A and B are shown apart, each in its own frame.
Chain A
């Protein structure tokens, strides 16, 4: 058993996530969106861009909502944490389980896009693999942020809060862009540092000069919220009150 990730917990999390209908519904739409757009020029990024992005994000939110509070509020987390395992390892296991479930849906959607592309005459582009890996880094970073919020927010409000923050920022961006066009550039620059960034540019077939920056930046967004989340969880009192 690893100190950072408790794999039995990850496996159990993976299972519980895959046994609820929500992720499957969203995952289905995600897959269809990719398959419809799958073309021989897309190099796989069409799974994770355009309408695909929306379903990808919704899927991430569906998998990350209540990822910790589910267990803490039912009281099962307390039983698990009375076993010889650290809170850090449990946290890592929950996050890893969520990422595994997300990975599964990504592979399914990616395969659907790929099959559609082959049907339309694609001669395989190795960048297709890159797009899958990039998407995983991106999605895991968002899950990591959701998990971190889940270390102190009850029930599904981690997803709610993050959704609201994103919406508020988009709104702010819109307002600034119309009222003070001169500031739009500043806001855009700031946005590039707020939260995980779309890393697909690296696999973008039409753009010369492949940029790995956003993907590397997303790695930071996996690990920093992870560390912060564990620190928060370690300070919490975990006794459950009867419902």
Chain B
């Protein structure tokens, strides 16, 4: 716990003046931190201050109060910037350039020599599925292709801290899946990720922690691990099985579905084995995380 968090906001506020002379806080004394090896998501309605919070952390906006720290240092320090990657919500690139040219430029800015930067550009373009389009001018890109280019740029420097603002907006399902895999890989090598997404199902599957934001304030922090998983198993011979081995259904059977709390994904294969040995005919196994949608409506919208 000695090394400082990858990202830290300490009671940061950002206020904007309104036309009628009043003021409103887009971010209101917000404190949060993201540690290495952690994926954290910001959730909240449009206008909650998620984008503003990210831009404050990066030093793109100047806070009216509080401070932002990256790896314990000032976000403006060049040595710290070398370690971060940022994917903004709606990236736009110089449309006269090709994707490869933009990637190469950023590689050079990261300190690679032209040749290395170019090789790297090709590698990352291929990785995000832009092998062919990257040779064309960006003017010809679709929304999703621009988004992919943005992701490639964010990843280009092998960042230790990655900030992604709605990275899945405009991505096709394959793109979303690739994005999820990439996030998990990053975490595995010890990077910190701050994510801002409305795709609750995606957030549910990869995040360690979810911060609920509204009106620029932090409403609640939710640890995903604390909730564990639920397995929902659909059986072809549920009633027969219930009659034969009732002790297996202590936690309840709903029609032909068996629902069980499990500690993690590792618990699934032994569970399935046990059921099969007991004579169960399994049609489907579904894993359900903490019900984020429910939680969201409860915390953010105040519904129960």
User: Which residues of A does B touch, CB under 8 Å?
Assistant: 1, 6, 8-9, 11-12, 15-16, 19-20, 70-71, 74-76, 78-80, 82-86, 237-240, 242-243
**Total residue contacts A-B, CB cutoff 8 A:** 82
CB contact under 8 A between A75 and B82, given known A12-B97, A238-B60: no
Contact present for B79 and A82 (CB under 8 Å)? no
User: Which residues of B does A touch, CB under 8 Å?
Assistant: 52, 55, 58, 60-62, 78-79, 81-82, 84, 86, 88-94, 96-97, 101-102, 105-106, 108-111, 137, 153, 157
User: Which residue of B90, B92, B101 contacts A12 across the interface (Cβ within 8 Å)?
Assistant: B101
Give CA–CA (A84, B96) in the complex, Å.
24
- A to B CB contacts below 8 Å, 25 in the list: A6-B109, A8-B108, A9-B105, A12-B101, A15-B101, A16-B94, A16-B96, A16-B97, A19-B96, A71-B94, A74-B93, A75-B88, A76-B92, A79-B91, A83-B110, A84-B79, A84-B82, A84-B111, A86-B78, A237-B61, A237-B62, A239-B55, A239-B60, A239-B61, A243-B90
The smallest beta-carbon distance between B300 and chain A, in angstroms, is 22
The smallest beta-carbon distance between B281 and chain A, in angstroms, is 52
Give CA–CA (A239, B153) in the complex, Å.
18
Contact present for A74 and B101 (CB under 8 Å)? no
CB contact under 8 A between A74 and B92, given known A12-B101, A84-B78: yes
- B94: chain A residues at CB < 8 Å are 12, 16, 70-71, 74, 76
Give CA–CA (A237, B63) in the complex, Å.
10
The smallest beta-carbon distance between B244 and chain A, in angstroms, is 60
Most chain B CB within a 10 A radius of its CB, from A8, A75, A83 = A83
The smallest beta-carbon distance between B106 and chain A, in angstroms, is 6
**CB-nearest residue of chain A to B60:** A239
The smallest beta-carbon distance between A169 and chain B, in angstroms, is 34
- A19: chain B residues at CB < 8 Å are 96-97, 137
Contact present for A75 and B110 (CB under 8 Å)? no
Contact present for A84 and B61 (CB under 8 Å)? no
Most chain A CB within a 10 A radius of its CB, from B62, B82, B84, B108 = B108
- B90: chain A residues at CB < 8 Å are 75, 242-243
Contact present for A82 and B101 (CB under 8 Å)? no
**CB-nearest residue of chain A to B98:** A15
**CB-nearest residue of chain A to B150:** A79
Contact present for B96 and A79 (CB under 8 Å)? no
CB contact under 8 A between A80 and B109, given known A237-B61, A242-B89: yes
Give CA–CA (A83, B105) in the complex, Å.
11
Give CA–CA (A9, B105) in the complex, Å.
7
The smallest beta-carbon distance between A93 and chain B, in angstroms, is 10
